[in-house]
Amino acid sequence: MEPKTKYDRQLRIWGEQGQAALEKASICLLNCGPTGSETLKNLVLGGVGSITIVDGSKVELGDLGNNFMVDESSLGQSKAKCVCSFLQELNDAVKAKFIEEYPQALIDTNTSFFSQFTVVVATQLVEESMVKLDRICRQANVMLIFARSYGLTGLVRISVKEHTVIESKPDHFLDDLRLNNPWPELRGFAEAIDLNVQDPVAHKHIPYVVILVKMADEWIKSHGGALPSTREEKREFKELLKARMIAMDEDNYKEAIDASFKVFALRGISSDLQRIINDSCAEVDSSSSNFWVMVAALKEFIANEGGGEVPLEGSIPDMTSSTEHYVNLQKIYQAKSEADFHVIEQRARDILKKIGRDPHSIPKATIKSFCKNARKLKVCRYHLIEDEYNNPSLAELQKYLTDEDYSIAVGFYILLRAVDCCAANFNSFPGQFDGGMDEDISRLKSTAVSLLNDLGCNGLTLTEDLINEMCRFGAAELHAVAAFIGGIASQEVIKLITKQFVPMSGTYIFNGIDHKSQLLTLY
């Protein structure tokens, strides 16, 4: 099947560039139980370039009840091999291979193995292995995602030193129309149109952009250069718009009233973008990434040609208008956008030259996309999991533990760490011991309490119910939970690879008891 047809639906979401990035990516999966298999299934269907499965276990009877990617004929065989051949059937364009090895052994003895991959998806690892692997991947500059399901709870956490996003694609974002800060061509266009035109047809076909530019200008002149800011002033501004209507069916004026909040928007750049351009990485050198070179160009543009604004995006929404006005308006926005892009492009090329790099090493299309999305740039940085485990923010931890909405999620987070301590000390997880359940419960409780004390949360405890539940889980991977966690993990992998949308920061905890998800930020 032609790739364009095969991936048609996803191409609409992340486009050809995103799909090309996926097809170049190589993914390593550690442990192919249900959580790992479900994560990889979604990525194989999405068309990643290659997968390597690392798992040293054999298929047992219990695996048949929670993993759709093994069947009775697989019993006693290598789990990695069985899951690999099943996934290969789903998409023959993906290169699939497997390694019959326990991930723990690779982490301990062959650290250079991981540097060949784009992303490592580590599932069902205990804390000690997570900490070691995190260091290895950081060193090799490989993106890492941890995913784990444990009874009715689950965890997903990204670990990447820095992840920059140009196409963050927020759900809601204000159009870049500059209604309260028009550039000369837009102002000139608006001034040439008479709002008091007597012809009713012409009056109801003035685009709302023109109406608002002129009315904002009028307001500024009679209010000492200030835009409407209080609720009362905003109401008054809308009343002025309403007063200009000469008939009740004037959709353009209704649109102007509805869009008047775009006039009240603050001029200039957001505090989020200000933080990015003030970031120390914006002081570029020969080792800087393309993203930071473009940020440095943007910083110069804002200070010089932009007059405190970012490059114009250049698109306008649909609106009631005569065709002539609308087409002319479109041309004005596009011309300004194009001019801004050329300035940024030139500045980026000059910066590249200055730091000793090929001035044309950043493709035109990348700079264009950067200009179009300049207001929506995102920089995500993730602490090492070891730092989070050893020095979490005490204030955050205490806040979560005492907040009713978060107490179960943070309880599961602490207990997932506590069961790893138990496993390290007693060689199996609570609920798997041969002894009575009561012994497991008291062991897990005392481990959790000492963990909380070590973290500085003296006197805070977890509910008995939660500790009992954790023991009842007995480290089981339930298919429904694993499939859900696998869905979340694969979605985050796609965000990281395509560099589109914003990956989650913090530790994601699924609470299957109440069917709730929480994102904990513990640093």
| CATH code of the region 3-166+478-520 | 3.40.50.720
What pLDDT is attached to residue 3? Answer: 66
Instruction: Find the mean pLDDT for residues 123-150.
Output: 97
Position 213 confidence tier, pLDDT thresholds 50, 70, 90: very high
What pLDDT is attached to residue 428? Answer: 87
Of 422, 423, 410, 420, the closest CA to residue 452 belongs to 410
Report, in angstroms and rounded to the nearest whole number, the Rg of the chain calculated over CA atoms.
28
DSSP-assigned states of every residue in 299-353 = HHHHHTTTTT-PPP-------S--HHHHHHHHHHHHHHHHHHHHHHHHHHHHHHH
Rounded percentage of the chain residues whose pLDDT exceeds 70: 99
Gap between the Cα atoms of 117 and 123, Å rounded: 16
Of 41, 233, 221, 150, the closest CA to residue 470 belongs to 150
Gap between the Cα atoms of 502 and 496, Å rounded: 8
Instruction: Find the mean pLDDT for residues 378-400.
Output: 93
Distances (CA, A) of 55 to 155, 300, 353: 20, 51, 48
Q: Write down how long the chain is.
A: 523
Which residues share a beta bridge with 121?
29, 145
Of 185, 184, 249, 190, the closest CA to residue 215 belongs to 190
What pLDDT is attached to residue 434? Answer: 63
Of 80, 96, 82, the closest CA to residue 45 belongs to 96
Q: Provide the 10 A C-beta neighbour count for residue 287.
A: 8
pLDDT tens, position by position, 263-284: 988 888 999 999 999 999 999 9
Using a 10 angstrom Cβ sphere, with 0-12 exposed, 13-18 middle and 19 or more buried, the burial of residue 165 is buried
Of 213, 308, 523, the closest CA to residue 397 belongs to 523
Position 433 confidence tier, pLDDT thresholds 50, 70, 90: low
Judge whether 466 and 418 are in contact, CB under 8 Å: no
Instruction: Find the mean pLDDT for residues 350-369.
Output: 96
Q: Would the pLDDT of 407 be above 80?
A: yes
Report domain extents, the chain: 3-166+478-520, 184-264, 271-380, 387-473
Lowest-confidence pick of 31-40, 71-80, 260-269, 327-336: 260-269
Gap between the Cα atoms of 154 and 195, Å rounded: 60
Q: Would the pLDDT of 466 be above 70?
A: yes
pTM: 0.91
Q: How far apart are the first and last CA of the chain?
A: 47
pLDDT tens, position by position, 279-303: 999 999 999 999 999 999 999 999 9
Q: Would the pLDDT of 1 be above 80?
A: no
Distances (CA, A) of 15 to 9, 166, 332, 495: 10, 14, 27, 13
What are the tokens at 107? 């982490």
Of 235, 188, 231, the closest CA to residue 213 belongs to 188
